[in-house]
Amino acid sequence: MRNILAVITAAVVLISIIFALRQPIALVFLFASCAIPIVYVAKSNKTLAKTLIILGCLASLLFVNSMVPIFGERYQFYKKSRDEHDRLIQERYQELNRESAREYHRNN
């Protein structure tokens, strides 16, 4: 049971780190949620420490989701608005390139 909990804890921490990279401040909270149980609880009860680490990682995922959506309807809206923003920027760059080409041909 301890080995299974250790593997689950490692997987949850790894996934949390990947998602926390979207918002770097979340890495601080993630580090704290992993370090505090290790320092204070692991000496007496390792199972409790692993459980607290998992709960801390889940809390940090909810924190990241509140700033940069990673699941649910908010993520779909965020992705759609980000794609629209990228499309508008690409159109603007193309327009600037056309204007530059016209200026270049006018001057030569």
Q: What is the pLDDT of residue 14?
A: 93
- Rounded CA gap, 85 and 87, in Å? 5
If one compares 72 and 7, the residue with the highest pLDDT of the two is 7
Is residue 1 very low, low, confident or very high in pLDDT (cuts 50, 70, 90)?
low
The whole-model pTM stands at 0.64
pLDDT 10s digits, 30-80? 898 888 888 877 678 888 888 889 999 998 888 887 877 777 787 788 888
> Phi/psi zone of residue 72: left (φ > 0), alpha (ψ -120 to 50 degrees), beta?
left
Contact assessment for residue 66 and residue 19, using Cβ atoms and an 8 Å cutoff? no
Burial class (CB in 10 A: 0-12, 13-18, 19+), 42: middle
Residue 15: partners with Cβ closer than 8 Å, 6 or more residues away: 57
pLDDT 10s digits, 96-107? 999 988 888 888
